[in-house]
Amino acid sequence: MVKFANRIQPCDNGLNDIFTYANDPALISFAAGYPNNQLFPRAALQTAFNASLTERCNLQYSTAAGLPSLRAKIAQHISTAQRQFTAEQILLTQGAQQGLDLTAKLLLNPGDGVVVEAPTYLGALSAFDAYQPTYYEVPLIADGMDLNALQKILLTHTVKFIYTIPDFQNPTGCTLSLAKRHALLRLAQRYDVIILEDNPYRELRFSGTPLPSLASLDTTNHVISLGSFSKILSPGLRLGWLVAAPELLEPLTALKLGNDVQSSTLVMNAVDHYLTTYDIKAHINAMNRAYAKKMTVMLTALARYLPATVAFTKPCGGFFVYLTLPAEIDTGQLLKQVILRDAKVAYVPSASLFPVSHQANGIRLNFTNLANETIELGVKRLGQILTQTLHQKHYAKL
């Protein structure tokens, strides 16, 4: 009998279910957070990969930090009036997901404190869990983390890092306000805590004015910031980036070397070629127009079909809308016992998105990878079954 390491816990956090639902043609799945299949720039990527293989790529090992010319382009892409970044501040990763793992690996001993937004991104919890942290949940309100609650935690507990998704948060779609960005940085400085900023949805804004990233406002090297090509080009590339001060970037780069040596030379070269030859901002704008429409279809259908006892967020971008049902409802049980069978609709139930409180009355809905008519139909079916179920007196037993 093989004995796993103590840190490996039996895990059924629902991640596998998400992929199962996404692949079931009988279901309308709002569960996965996939970009739209039709919107990948296939022809451009094909040209970029061809060029990468024939002209540029030496097919040899390179450095753990990643292709310098691509790091320079990313630095330019994320630079703002507030702050200019350089290639030396950037480590290329296998998606933002690897940045989550590397940061936790660098900073956490078993039992160390990690603050997360509640609810938060399930994949981040999967990455952090391996390092056995003690989680502290900070409630999310419309303009981001409840900073009073955060301060109470920082006053009474030792925390290694604060994990936040400031733009179009997964799963709620909430965005941290500008005032709170400044206040969060002040707290990080006062209590000398690292902020892990995870920002894969940052450029997917459908309305309102873009806000500066935490990294761009950070003057004291308290922020590790993650970006990704997954949602703006393709998740299949497995390419993202991490921005940090040299004293953090050096050990993180060493950890990446031990982890996977480097990101794929072929992919790094192809994306570098793509960014030289094509206008990624125009591509993102086109995606935003399509996603904005899909979100409007979803919000309109939610307003029309959901019972009044169900609240929902109204994001300005990103991939997700979050529903809050009456507190006594367990949306996981509801999904398995009623919704999958009667509505033929799937979603992500909230319990596993709260690592401490396991609040079960939330639902994450994704709108990006479905046709507009399918979104309308799926919300209609979900709304009808929720209306029936919530009206039944016995729903509290679900």
Distance CA 32, CA 348 (A): 8
CA distance 345 to 386: 11
**Residue span binding ligand PLP (CB under 6 A) among the ranges 91-99, 152-160, 173-181, 251-259:** 91-99
The reply to whether 14 sits near ligand PLP by the rule CB under 6 A is no
* Least distance to ligand PLP, CB of residue 95, Å: 2
Secondary-structure percent of the chain, ordered helix, strand, coil, rounded to 5: 45, 15, 40
Here the contacts of 49-53 (C-beta below 8 Å, separation 24 or greater) are 49/266, 49/270, 51/270, 51/273, 51/277, 52/266, 52/269, 52/270, 52/272, 52/273, 53/266
Give the residue closest to ligand PLP by C-beta.
95
Q: Is the CB of 18 or the CB of 386 nearer to ligand PLP?
A: 18
Segment interacting with ligand PLP, rule: CB under 6 A, options 94-102, 135-143, 292-300, 381-389: 94-102
Binding residue for ligand PLP, selected from 35, 123, 133, 383, defined by CB under 6 A: 123
The tokens 């009998």 sit on which residue?
1
Rule CB under 6 A: say whether 108 interacts with ligand PLP. no
Distance between CA atoms of residues 396 and 273, nearest Å: 56
- State which residue, 52 or 228, has the beta carbon closest to ligand PLP: 228
Of the two residues 319 and 395, which places its CB atom closer to ligand PLP in the complex?
Answer: 319
* The one segment of 50-58, 92-100, 104-112, 272-280 that binds ligand PLP by CB under 6 A: 92-100
CB of 163 to ligand PLP, least distance (A): 9
- Only one of the segments 46-54, 93-101, 174-182, 321-329 lies at the binding site for ligand PLP (rule: CB under 6 A); that segment is 93-101
Among 96, 150, 194, 325, binds ligand PLP (CB under 6 A): 96
What three-state secondary structure class fits 43?
A: helix
The 127-166 site mask, x for binding ligand PLP (CB under 6 A), equals: --------------------------------------x-
Minimum CB distance to ligand PLP smaller for 213 or for 230: 230
Beta strand pairing call for 320-324 and 362-366: antiparallel
Nearest to 102 by CA among 234, 225, 266: 225
Asked if residue 228 binds ligand PLP (CB under 6 A), the reply is: yes
- Structure tokens of 211? 């806000």
Select the residue interacting with ligand PLP from 52, 172, 230, 366 (CB under 6 A): 230
Reading the block at residue 29, the tokens are 């799945």
Is the distance from CB of 273 to CB of 51 less than 8 angstroms?
A: yes
- The C-alpha atoms of residue 328 and residue 336 are separated, in whole angstroms, by 16
How many residues in the chain? 398
173 is a site residue for ligand PLP (CB under 6 A): no
Report, in Å, the least distance between residue 103 CB and ligand PLP.
12
DSSP-assigned letters across all residues of 306-322:
S-TT-EE---SBSSEEE
The DSSP 8-state label assigned to residue 335 in this structure reads I
Peptide bond connecting 171 to the previous residue in cis, omega within 30 degrees of 0 = yes
Applying the rule CB under 6 A, the residues between 20 and 39 that interact with ligand PLP are 33
Site membership for ligand PLP, residue 121 (CB under 6 A):
yes
Please give the residues from 184 up to 203 whose contact with ligand PLP meets the rule CB under 6 A: 198, 200
Cβ neighbours around 237 below 10 Å, total: 22
Which stretch, 82-90, 227-235, 328-336, 342-350, contacts ligand PLP (CB under 6 A)?
227-235
* C-beta closer to ligand PLP: residue 107 or 398: 107
| Helix (H/G/I), strand (E/B), else coil: 24 | coil
Residues that bind ligand PLP (CB under 6 A): 33, 95-97, 121, 123, 165, 170, 198, 200, 228, 230, 235, 240
